[in-house]
Chains A and B, each alone.
Chain A
Amino acid sequence: MTATDEMVYVANRQGKLQALADEGINGVRVKFTFPPEASEERVPGVHNAPVLGKKLLYVSSYDGYLYALDRTTLQMGETGWRRPTGEVDKPLVAGPALDAEQKVVAVGSEDGSLYAYNAQSGELLWPPFVTGDKIWSTPLIANGVIYFGSHDNNVYAVAVSDGRKLWSFPTGGAVVARPMLIQDTLVVGSFDRHLYGINAKDGSRRWEFQSENWFYAGAVSDGKVIFAPSMDGNLYALDAGGRQLWAHDMESPLVATPALVARGLVVASRAGKVSLLNTSPADLGTARVLSSLTFPGTKFTAPLAVAGDSVYLGAQDNTVRRIQVRDSLNKIWCMRTQAKDDSTQC
């Protein structure tokens, strides 16, 4: 899921990509669907968030294809494309990453390779970069380098220009989380329950931090503090040197990447709890929670999207919610993306 002030792009696991026109308190309505409702065609499931370019929307799908669709019509039209052009048998679980400056879109596949395409034409830029196992980690592109993790336990840095390997960093488990940069330190979590701080230039280890379970979702940062969600249910706040500042227990695994907004940090758990946390470094104890909402039976698993003063949450039950973040969390609307009749509200 990704959002702008007017439109929310939602991909569900049943094969439909929808552009929702956000009408605030009046609700939301489906503006475009890909493939069109009348079509029998399906995009068989999307796991990670689509990425918005200036004209195109990039979506990676379980059918193994990367789609570039016209963001205003949600069709391929004349400018859109689908890659690869031939048959594929491995799904794309990882989301795409876009470097708007260099016009490169990169995505990792379950076949173990990273593919980089020209963001406009869809031309393959260099031979696929091959790792030792599946890639579920959505890449990060920064400073001419693509950073990503693999099931082969390594974190890789690859040059955007020619696909050359710059370095690799071994961890003790699979790396499925999206890496994140703070200053010149690459921060990425692993299934060995460690969060690693890696020198982004040479791949050397700067620090590591251990939790009680996997780091599945990516960390976020405001430039000073790292906020790392763990499957042990804690949201850890660390300084740039990897020292723990505080931890907040959400009481169930954190699978969704949290979102930073002006008022603080919004975290959503797998047990349906959404909290707005004060990001101040002081030890605030229970006062850390500024506001909280609970949606029983709803498993929030998709990375949170932000637009304006709102966050958009996608759940495993194919529902999407808009929550406005002011002094407290206010539910604006909720929609079932699967409903075929008028009962789209939830």
Chain B
Amino acid sequence: METVALLWNEIIIRPMLNTLVVLYVICFSNMGVAIIAFTALVRLATLPLTMKQLRQMQAMTNLQPKLKEMQTRFAKDRARQSQETMRLYKESGVNPVGCLGPMVVQMPILFGLFQVLIQTLYTKPDDLVNLSGKLYSWIPVFPVHAAAPLNQHFLGLDLAANPTPLLFIIPVMVGASTWLQQKMTTTPSMDPRQQSTQGMMLWMMPIMLGVFAFQFPVGLAIYWIVSNLIGVAIQYFITGWGPLFPLFPKRVTAPVAVLPAEEVAPEETEENGHHSDAHRPNRRRSRRAGAERARRRPQRGRGRSSK
């Protein structure tokens, strides 16, 4: 256990903490600016993982109509359903747990970052004493030892203090930015049950983090807000503002019409499973036509899917 603690300290905590202090020195001893720069740096360092994660999620989202169709088509044959689903994943180059990998890699960084901010934003002399043992003494250009105690004021805020009721705007901003990022990354599911879960999560997380923000130093809230906004910007470059609208979609209560497999236009899906923007008008047209055909021949569709 001691070895784990030592490794955690030496590999995650100390490098991150010293980077933050170096940024503090570079940013004219302004802790608020240092936290913003540090957040941007961490997001930049984890950008390849974030991009991979977002692309996997996008690919999974694009496969949703086909998966739904597969589930309906092989509703009574679980083995076949699973087999066909795996085949679809393979053909589309999608790893169903692929989006979890980058997330798992990022978790230690996030936990570490949380600890680093707590340790840097000290309120009592004892906390400052803890900090001294974690600073590198060998950084020649940036005297990190002389930088402490760090100036913790930013735009009139004490970054080490918890937000007062008067500063409720900070937790509100944490909640709002979390909602925005979640809204951008969550694409509405076609399954009403999933849709309901997604809807709940979309509100639960921001409210929870907003409440947490009252319990933690303002500096940590600034990290959350900046990190969320950068996340929104990254998402914008991948999907545009599309997923954000409509802001408050109506919940789908009736199951959607399902097409038989052979009626799905082959040009809808690219080899890698992504739908390019150029194909979107065709896809919409094709869906409309498919739905029309399904209405005209309801019995045939039902007959096949209930076999």
Q: Which of A45, A151, A213 contacts B137 (CB 8 A)?
A: A213
A313: chain B residues within 8 A (beta carbon): none
Given A216-B132, A253-B129, A253-B132: A192 touches B143 (CB 8 Å cut-off): yes
A to B CB contacts below 8 Å, 8 in the list: A151-B149, A173-B147, A173-B148, A214-B132, A214-B148, A216-B132, A253-B132, A255-B129
Q: In the complex, how many angstroms separate the beta carbon of B105 from the nearest chain A beta carbon?
A: 34
Q: Does B148 lie within 8 Å of A270, measured CB to CB?
A: no
* CB nearest to B133 among chain A residues: A253
A172 with B146, Cβ < 8 A, contacts A47-B125, A301-B126 known = yes
By a CB distance below 8 angstroms, the chain B residues around A173 are: 143, 145-148
- CB within 8 Å for A191 and B126 given contacts A172-B143, A253-B132: no
Distance A301 CA – B132 CA, assembled complex (angstroms): 14
Of residues 78 to 119 in A, which have CB atoms within 8 Å of B's CB atoms?
Answer: 93
A200-237 vs B, Cβ < 8 Å mask (1 yes, 0 no): 00000000000011101000000000000001100000
Chain B nearest CB, measured from A232 CB (Å): 8
Across-interface contacts of A253 in B (CB, < 8 A): 129, 132-133
Q: How far is the CA of A134 from the CA of B125 in the complex (A)?
A: 12
Q: Could you tell me the distance in whole angstroms from the C-beta of B28 to the nearest C-beta in chain A?
A: 15
Closest A residue to B129 by beta carbon equals A255
Pairwise interchain contact B126-A316, C-beta atoms closer than 8 A = yes
Q: What is the CB-to-nearest-CB distance from B133 to chain A, in angstroms, rounded to a whole number?
A: 6
B129 near A191 with CB under 8 A, answer no
B40 to chain A, nearest CB (A): 28
A174 adjacent to chain B (CB < 8 Å): yes
Is B129 a contact of A270 with CB atoms below 8 Å?
Answer: yes
Distance of B119 from chain A, by nearest CB (Å): 15
What chain B residues lie within 8 Å of A45 (beta carbons)?
A: 124
Given A213-B132, A214-B132, A253-B133, decide whether A93 and B125 contact each other with a Cβ distance below 8 A: yes
Name the CB-closest residue of A to B131.
A214
For the complex formed, measure the closest distance between the CB of A7 and the CB atoms of chain B, giving whole angstroms.
26
Q: Are A136 and B143 in contact (CB under 8 A)?
A: no
Most buried by B among A151, A173, A212, A316: A173
Report chain B residues within 8 Å CB of A151: 149
Please, how many angstroms separate the alpha-carbon atoms of A93 and B129 in the complex?
A: 14
Chain B, residue nearest A233 (CB): B133
Given contacts A93-B125, A253-B132, contact A212 B146 (CB under 8 A): no
* Contact status B145-A193, CB under 8 Å: yes
Complexed CA–CA distance, A180 and B85 (Å): 77
Contact yes or no, A191 B149, CB < 8 A? yes
